[in-house]
Amino acid sequence: MEPVRSFIAVDPGEKFHEDIKELEQQLYGKVSGIRWVEPNNVHLTLKFLGTIPSDLIEKLVANLKGAVEGLPHFELRLAGAGVFPDLRRPRVFWIGASSDGNSLQELEAKVSGVVSSLGIPTDDKPFRAHLTIGRFKDRASGTELKGILENTGFDFGRVLVDRIFLFRSTLTPKGPVYSVLSEIRL
């Protein structure tokens, strides 16, 4: 069986994807050196798994279901924007995500626990809730970005989180193609 490049994520839904498409059109040509993420591909990654053996998928899904089943549904607020790592060296343009209380952090911790228990290696970076909407291929102007971040409305409201998804990521010359391997309800 062939290995699968995959990740576990929250899909913010069609309305958010439409809003991102509109934002990208609004910012097109105003942000230099950026490659925008296909709006329907924008998601909140809980855990990037990289390439894993396909025979591990069934066990991963079963363990995720056991870990997150019964967690309360919650609302995710999608607001604010920024860049990683900073305005001097921007690599990623993102939209912020947060929940009331610690619901999002609890969900991420459950997912990370499952991934770790299966011995799937992941990076040690702390979880920073965000949705990537663009990646910089060239150096962008920090001054240009600062103005956009300060003068553009980045409030997309709230979305209900009642499920997570295990996605396959297939890399193509035109960008990644994501397909749902499993939908896991809270």
Catalytic center residues: 43, 130
Report the b/e string of 111-125 with b at 16+ CB within 10 A: bbebbeeeebeeeee
C-alpha 38/C-alpha 152 separation (Å) is: 20
User: CA 60: distance to chain centroid?
Assistant: 19
What tokens were used for 34? 């950026």
H or E segment to which residue 147 belongs: helix 142-151
Q: How many CB atoms sit inside 10 A of residue 29's CB?
A: 7
Q: Are strands 163-170 and 92-99 parallel, antiparallel or unpaired?
A: unpaired
